[in-house]
């Protein structure tokens, strides 16, 4: 029997609300439009993934949520805070208390001259006593299965071990949102699966909201919702038919070919949607026009009829 997924009705409180978000980067005389009207709602307690090709805007969006970059236009509310209106001091407090980051490059996560335990204690430098810092760091290392490596330095740890310690560091100040940028990009498949299990356990046991940017299709199959970004806009969402844990209990595993999510196109506020180029190519659309009609309660898209050359009548001048 299919387990009911958590409802996404309006009465569920969003922790991230992004409306018509725009980000323009300027380099000399060139302007690059990284986000062009992005709309995303992320509910409190979600474990979700954001996917997209390089340059689609997904990492830019993650940096917006993390307070590492300022939006150019639009609306971005995170945990009740309007990120457009935060001054520098408020932004520092926001980054310290609201979000935690896990980077793909572990050189950004850990300091090589500190042990694993010291790295986890570092973000708590001004918020706890020495005894409480150590106790909390040990608790977090235990949570990610790395307590036995507490005295190890960066060069003594595998890539997967470094990433698990990076998760502990990101959790040090008790953030409400964990942001992970390609967290399995530099590890093997089995280690990547273990890292995702850590994220899932954190999400289930603590209610932590987790947003993962990834290219990994295996990871994306194991979260409840996947948002696709194309050309700086939300283009599609995939919603899991059944939550991951229930699926494992009923079947035991996912086959590579099995479809686990239903995919939906996403309309913007003007009712527009993005159609993947491969779909348009498949129906013979070559330019920027499509034939649109309502047929038996369905909206049908098709290629416009090709123009035929007019034949000249015999004897005509």
Dump the DSSP string for the chain.
-PPPPPP--TTSPEEEEEEEEEEEEEETTEEEEEEEEEEEEEETT-EEEEE--TTSSHHHHHHHHTTSS--SEEEEEETTEETTT--HHHHHHHHHHTEEEE-SSGGGT--TTS-HHHHHHGGGTTTS-HHHHHHHHHHHHHHTT-GGGTT--GGGS-HHHHHHHHHHHHTTT--SEEEEESTTTTS-HHHHHHHHHHHHHHHHHH--EEEEE---HHHHTTSSEEEEEETTEEEEEEEESS-HHHHHHHTSS--SS---EEEEE---TTS-----HHHHHHTT--SS--EEEEETTEEEEEPPPPPPPPPPPTT--
Task: With CA atoms as reference, report the closest residue to 98 among 209, 183, 207, 213.
Answer: 209
Output the pLDDT for position 308: 60
Between CA 129 and CA 5 the distance in angstroms is: 42
Per the CB < 8 A criterion, the answer to whether 177 and 79 are in contact is yes
Average pLDDT over residues 294-306: 81
Contact predicate 22/35, CB 8 Å: yes
pLDDT classification of 314: cutoffs 50, 70, 90: low
In this prediction, residues 120-137 reach a mean pLDDT of 82
CA distances (Å), origin 11, targets 51, 79, 145, 260: 27, 15, 36, 26
The pLDDT-based confidence of 106 (bands split at 50, 70, 90) is confident
Cβ burial of 100 (10 Å; 0-12, 13-18, 19+) is buried
For 169-218, what is each residue's pLDDT tens digit? 999 989 999 999 988 877 788 888 888 888 988 898 888 999 999 877 66
Residue 300 has pLDDT above 90, yes or no: no
More confident residue, 190 or 312: 190
Q: Which of 13-27, 34-48, 257-271 has the lowest mean pLDDT?
A: 257-271
What whole-number percentage of the chain has pLDDT above 90? Answer: 24
Q: Is the pLDDT of residue 230 over 90?
A: no
With pLDDT > 70 as the criterion, what percentage of the chain qualifies? 78
Do the beta carbons of residue 100 and residue 108 sit within 8 Å? no
Residue predicted with more confidence, 67 or 285: 67
Choose from 21-35, 122-136, 160-174, 183-197 the range with maximum mean pLDDT: 160-174
Q: What is the CA radius of gyration of the chain?
A: 24
Q: Is 303:286 a contact under the CB 8 Å cutoff?
A: yes
pLDDT recorded at residue 8: 46
**Structure tokens of 123?**
């973000």
Contacts of residue 134, defined as CB under 8 A and 6 or more positions apart, other chains included, come to: 117, 121
Mean pLDDT of all residues belonging to the chain: 80
Contact call for residues 46 and 65 (beta carbons, < 8 A): no
Q: How far apart are CA 17 and CA 177, in angstroms?
A: 13
* Mean pLDDT value of segment 119-126: 85
Lowest mean pLDDT among 85-94, 154-163, 252-261: 252-261
Q: Inform me whether the pLDDT recorded for 2 exceeds 50.
A: no
What would the mean pLDDT of 66-83 be, rounded to a whole number?
91
Q: Are 224 and 242 in contact (CB under 8 A)?
A: no
Mean pLDDT over 275-291 rounds to: 77
- pLDDT at position 34 is 82
For residue 3, is pLDDT > 70? no
Provide the pLDDT confidence category of residue 249 given band limits of 50, 70 and 90: very low
């Amino acid at each position: 029997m299919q387990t009911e997924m958590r409802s996404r009705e309006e009465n569920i409180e969003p922790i991230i609300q992004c409306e018509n978000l725009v980000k323009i980067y300027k380099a000399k005389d060139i302007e690059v439009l990284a986000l062009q009207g992005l709309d995303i709602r992320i509910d409190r307690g979600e474990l979700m993934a954001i996917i997209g090709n390089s340059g689609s805007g997904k990492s830019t969006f993650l940096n917006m949520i993390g307070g590492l970059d300022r939006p150019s236009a639009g609306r971005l509310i995170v945990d009740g805070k309007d990120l457009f209106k935060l001054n520098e001091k408020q932004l520092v407090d926001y980054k310290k208390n609201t979000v935690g980051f896990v980077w793909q490059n572990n050189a950004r996560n850990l300091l090589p001259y500190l042990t694993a335990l010291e790295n986890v204690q570092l973000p708590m430098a001004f918020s706890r006593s020495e005894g409480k810092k150590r106790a909390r760091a040990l608790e977090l290392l235990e949570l990610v299965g790395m307590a036995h490596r507490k005295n190890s330095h960066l060069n003594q740890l595998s890539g997967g071990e470094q990433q698990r310690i990076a998760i502990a560091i990101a959790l040090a100040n008790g953030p409400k949102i964990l942001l992970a940028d390609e967290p399995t990009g530099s590890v093997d498949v089995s280690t990547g699966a273990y890292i995702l299990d850590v994220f899932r356990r954190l999400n289930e046991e603590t209610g932590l909201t987790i947003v993962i940017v990834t290219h990994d299709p295996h990871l994306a199959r194991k979260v409840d919702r996947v948002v696709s970004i194309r050309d700086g806009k939300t283009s599609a969402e995939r919603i899991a038919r059944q939550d991951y844990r229930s699926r494992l209990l009923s079947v035991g595993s996912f086959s590579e070919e099995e479809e686990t999510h239903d995919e939906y196109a996403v309309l913007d506020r003007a009712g527009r949607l993005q159609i993947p180029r491969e779909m348009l190519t498949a129906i013979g659309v070559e330019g920027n026009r499509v034939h649109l009609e309502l047929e038996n309660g369905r909206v049908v898209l098709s290629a416009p009829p090709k123009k035929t050359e007019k034949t000249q009548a015999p004897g005509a001048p």
